[in-house]
Copies of this chain bind each other. A is one copy, B any other.
């Protein structure tokens, strides 16, 4: 005893709360893309980035998705095998792939999007416009601190 005020409680520890929060939110969304459509997170993100019109290389998907290239490569394979995605080779740089959704992929995408939007709406239902802005701002500020911490340790560690 003596320093009881300092007892550590996981349940009130901020990073733990954040992770739990994110898991809960993710599960709500996975109800749609995973349970209902059988897509993995990487597959869903890949489709979401391509959308109906974009034509991108794998590395452009990497840039926009916070996935690594292995994840993207596997998602592309799997989406191809389902017939949701078409891969061509870039004529000017034959290392590059040229990816776009197939008509079938677009059909699924168009079906899926209103549903994931509905989930987003439900999640944010009782937030005011300004609540949402505040939330985004807070997440942004905290993320910046987190990135600082990681970078600092990387160099000094």
Binding site for B on A (CB under 8 A): 7-8, 10-11, 13-29, 31, 35, 45, 48-49, 51, 64-66, 113, 116-117, 119-120, 122-127, 131, 134-136, 138-139, 141-143, 145-150, 153, 157
Say yes or no: A28-B14 contact (C-beta < 8 A), given A8-B113, A138-B134, A149-B119: no
Q: List 15 A-B contacts (CB under 8 A).
A: A8-B113, A15-B28, A19-B22, A21-B139, A21-B143, A24-B146, A25-B143, A31-B153, A35-B157, A123-B145, A123-B146, A126-B141, A127-B141, A131-B138, A138-B138
Asked if residues A125 and B149 are in contact (CB atoms below 8 Å), the reply is no
Q: Who on chain B is nearest to A32 by CB? A: B153
Contact across chains for A123 and B27 when beta carbons are under 8 A apart: no
The A interface, classified by DSSP as helix, strand, loop or mixed, is helix
B28 contacts A149, C-beta separation under 8 Å: yes
Which residues of chain B have C-beta atoms less than 8 A from A123's C-beta?
Answer: 14-15, 142, 145-146, 149
